[in-house]
Amino acid sequence: MYDVIALGELLVDLAERSKDEVGYPTLAANPGGAPGNFLAALSAYGKKTAFLAKVGDDTFGRLLAGTMQRAGIDGCGIRIDPDTFTTLAFVTFDAHGDRSFAFARKPGADTQLRWDEIDPAMLDETHVFHFGSLSCTDEPARSATQSAVAYARAHGKLVTYDPNYRPPLWKTEQEAKEQILWGLRQADLVKISDEEVQFLWGCSPEQGAERVLALGAKLVMVTLGPKGCFLKNAQAEYRCGCPQVRTVDTTGAGDIFGGSAVSRFLELGKTPEQLTQELADCRPEMIYLPVEWLDTLDVTPYLDRTSFCAVLPRIFRTEDEAVLREMLVRHRQVLAAVAVGNLGHLPIAEGLELPLRGDLGMNVFNSRALLFLRELGLSTAAVSFELRHQQIRDLKKYLPCEAVVYGRLPLMLMENCVIANSLGCCDVGSDYRKRSSACRCTGENVLTDRTGARFPLMPAWGHRNELENSRTLFLADKPEWRRLGLTYARLRFTTESPAECVAALQRYQGQGDYIPADLTRGLFYRGVE
Question: Would you give the DSSP letter of residue 196?
Answer: H
Mean pLDDT of the chain: 87
Give per-residue pLDDT as tens, 355-396: 999 999 999 999 999 999 999 999 999 999 999 999 999 999
Among residues 483, 361, 350, 463, which one has the least CA distance to residue 415? 463
CA 24 from centre of chain: 45
Question: Would you give the DSSP letter of residue 92?
Answer: E
Helix (H, G, I), strand (E, B) or coil at 297: coil
Give the pLDDT confidence score for residue 431 in this predicted structure.
45
DSSP letter string, 373-423? HHHTT-SEEEBPTTS-HHHHHHS--SS-EEEEEEEPPEEEEESS-HHHHHH
Residue 425 in this model has a pLDDT that exceeds 60:
no
Share of the chain above pLDDT 90, in %: 58
For the chain, list the domains and their CATH numbers. Answer: 2-8+34-80+108-268 (3.40.1190.20)
| Residue 126: how many other CB atoms lie within 10 Å | 21
* Dihedrals phi, psi of 378, to nearest 5 degrees: -75, 150
Calpha distance 384→360 (Å, rounded): 6
**Which pLDDT band holds residue 99 (cuts at 50, 70, 90)?**
low
Asked if 496 contacts 273 with a C-beta cutoff of 8 angstroms, the reply is no
Helix (H, G, I), strand (E, B) or coil at 34: helix
Residue 400 CB partners (closer than 8 Å, separation 6+): 379, 380, 381, 487, 488
Share of the chain above pLDDT 70, in %: 90
Q: What are the strands, taking DSSP E only, across 138-228?
A: 158-162, 189-193, 219-223
Residue 440 in this model has a pLDDT that exceeds 70:
no
**Which pLDDT band holds residue 346 (cuts at 50, 70, 90)?**
very high
DSSP letter string, 115-151? GGGS-HHHHHTEEEEEEESGGGSSTTHHHHHHHHHHH
Give per-residue pLDDT as tens, 295-342: 878 888 888 889 999 999 999 999 899 999 999 999 999 999 999 999
Residue 436 in this model has a pLDDT that exceeds 50:
no
DSSP letter string, 226-294? GG-EEEEESS-EEEE-------S--TTHHHHHHHHHHHHHHHH-S--TT--HHHHHT--S-EEEEGGGG
Give per-residue pLDDT as tens, 61-89: 899 999 998 999 999 999 999 999 998 88
Helix (H, G, I), strand (E, B) or coil at 482: helix
Give per-residue pLDDT as tens, 199-238: 999 999 999 999 999 998 888 999 998 888 888 887 778 7
Residue 428 in this model has a pLDDT that exceeds 60:
no
DSSP letter string, 455-472? EEEEEEBTTEEEEEPSSE
Give the pLDDT confidence score for residue 434 in this predicted structure.
45
The answer to which of 159-173, 252-266, 431-445, 460-474 has the lowest mean pLDDT is 431-445
Q: Across residues 397-422, what is the average pLDDT?
A: 88
> Which residues make beta-bridge pairs with 74?
50
Calpha distance 10→109 (Å, rounded): 9
Question: Would you give the DSSP letter of residue 79?
Answer: E
> Which residues make beta-bridge pairs with 232?
220, 237
The answer to which of 44-48, 131-135, 193-197, 486-490 has the lowest mean pLDDT is 44-48
CA-to-CA dists, residue 220 to 27, 47, 129, 182, angstroms: 35, 22, 16, 16
Asked if 360 contacts 384 with a C-beta cutoff of 8 angstroms, the reply is yes
Q: Which of 99 and 253 is assigned the larger pLDDT?
A: 253
Which of 16-25, 259-268, 341-350 is modeled with the greatest confidence?
341-350
Asked if 166 contacts 101 with a C-beta cutoff of 8 angstroms, the reply is yes
